[in-house]
Amino acid sequence: MVQNAKPGPETGAGNWLPIPASGDFSLTLRMYAPHPSVIDFSWQPPAVTPVN
């Protein structure tokens, strides 16, 4: 979960990644010992999906 306001405990606040309320931000995916498909760019991570 990526959002600017801290979520309540019922929505999984333990998985919350805070972002600014406005302006740009970036997401970084850190891969440890990646599969060769990651290195040769044949694998791409899934898109970020907005939810309401």
Rounded-to-integer distance, Cα 30 and Cα 9, Å: 26
Q: 0.75 exceeded by the pTM? A: no
In tens digits, the chain (52 residues) has pLDDT values of 788 888 877 776 777 888 898 888 888 999 999 999 999 999 999 998 887 7
Residue 16's nearest CA partner among 3, 31, 28, 34 is 3
